[in-house]
Amino acid sequence: MRASGKVVAVTGGGNGIGRELVLGLLDRGARVAALDISDTGLAGTAQLAGDAADRLSTHVANITDRALVEALPDRLIEVHGAIDGLINCAGIIQPFVKVNDLDYASIERVFNVNLWGVINMTKTFLPYLMERPEAHLVNISSMGAFVPVPGQAIYGASKAAVKLFTEALYSELAQTNVRVTCAYPGAIHTDISKHSGVQMDADTEKQAKESKIKMTEPADAARIILDAMESDAYRVMVGADATMMDRLVRLLPKKAADTIQKQMSSLLAE
């Protein structure tokens, strides 16, 4: 689905990849409804939109609140007249600790945002997408959905669920007007730890900054994802690391797991 002239809702639109998706869609001629839990973040996105701000609406929304989510389509249609696309980008990571040391509240919070948020938005918006001549659903999973990252087991499990959920939607919607894409970002240069409420000690933060893993810039990640949407891609790897690990995990899954374990284990809180 080409973005120009379409109306696209984007969750997580107040920071990181989500913000860059909003700005990228505006650059491609779309009207955009940016959703985020942070009104400050949304205000920053609106400011960056510049002259295109007249095609942007911002909506403070907690995607884990199903009743609130179910009220969103009417609000968005009142502003934009229709909804042609949905990009589920909002997501959080867990504290960098092993499952044995992770409390249930953190586990539930990650699943509520990363999986239930996607399900809530998809279930609510899908009937409206199916009414359009053409429409597109993009779900942002993660490289962590297919490569086990120590200290992010719960995050990876939630993103793996998004992966399979999205693939099943692709099959269920194959004979409809709704196209479906799943995106798998690798390491992206964002403040996801801060926005996830994850505190790192000084040593862990220093190790993360000195990591040899090359990170993809959020604007580049957004461009890759939007190109995939416009070409109706089934899946898209975002970043050289995601592309490499996608190949390695299919050929040598244990080697892929061992490689990530060696690179990431030093970040684990002991």
Give the lowest-confidence range in 140-144, 187-191, 203-207, 259-263: 203-207
Domains identified in the chain and CATH numbers: 7-267 (3.40.50.720)
Query: For 76-87, how does the pLDDT look when each residue is reduced to its tens digit (9 = 90+)?
Result: 999 999 999 999
CA angle 175, 179, 182 (to 5 degrees): 125
Q: Which of 217, 221, 155, 181 is nearest to 8 (CA)?
A: 181
Assign 3-class secondary structure to 48-108. HHHHHHHHEEEEECCCCCHHHHHCHHHHHHHHHCCCCEEEECCCCCCCCCCHHHCCHHHHH
pTM above 0.85, yes or no: yes
Residue whose structure tokens are 């050289």: 240
Q: What is the mean pLDDT of residues 210-239?
A: 91
pLDDT of residue 96: 92
Residues of the chain with pLDDT > 70, as a percent, come to 91
* Whether the predicted pLDDT of 6 surpasses 60: yes
pLDDT of residue 214: 80
pLDDT of residue 265: 73
Residue type, 58: T
Residues of the chain with pLDDT > 90, as a percent, come to 87
* Whether the predicted pLDDT of 206 surpasses 80: no
Q: What is the mean pLDDT of residues 102-125?
A: 98
Two tokens at 67? 């009743």
pLDDT of residue 264: 80
pLDDT of residue 202: 52
Query: Counting every residue, how long is the chain?
Result: 270
Q: Which of 138, 142, 140 is nearest to 86 (CA)?
A: 138
Type and span of the H or E element at 152: none
pLDDT of residue 190: 82
pLDDT of residue 31: 98
Contacts 24+ apart (CB under 8 A), 174-178: 176/130, 177/130, 177/132, 177/133, 177/134, 177/135, 178/126, 178/129, 178/130, 178/135, 178/136, 178/137
* Whether the predicted pLDDT of 197 surpasses 70: no
Q: Taking all residues of the chain, what is their mean pLDDT, rounded to a whole number?
A: 93
| Sign of the dihedral defined by the CA atoms of residues 150, 152, 156, 157, in that order | positive
Please confirm, yes or no, whether 104 is among the known catalytic residues.
Answer: no
Residue in 155, 170, 184, 234 annotated catalytic = 155
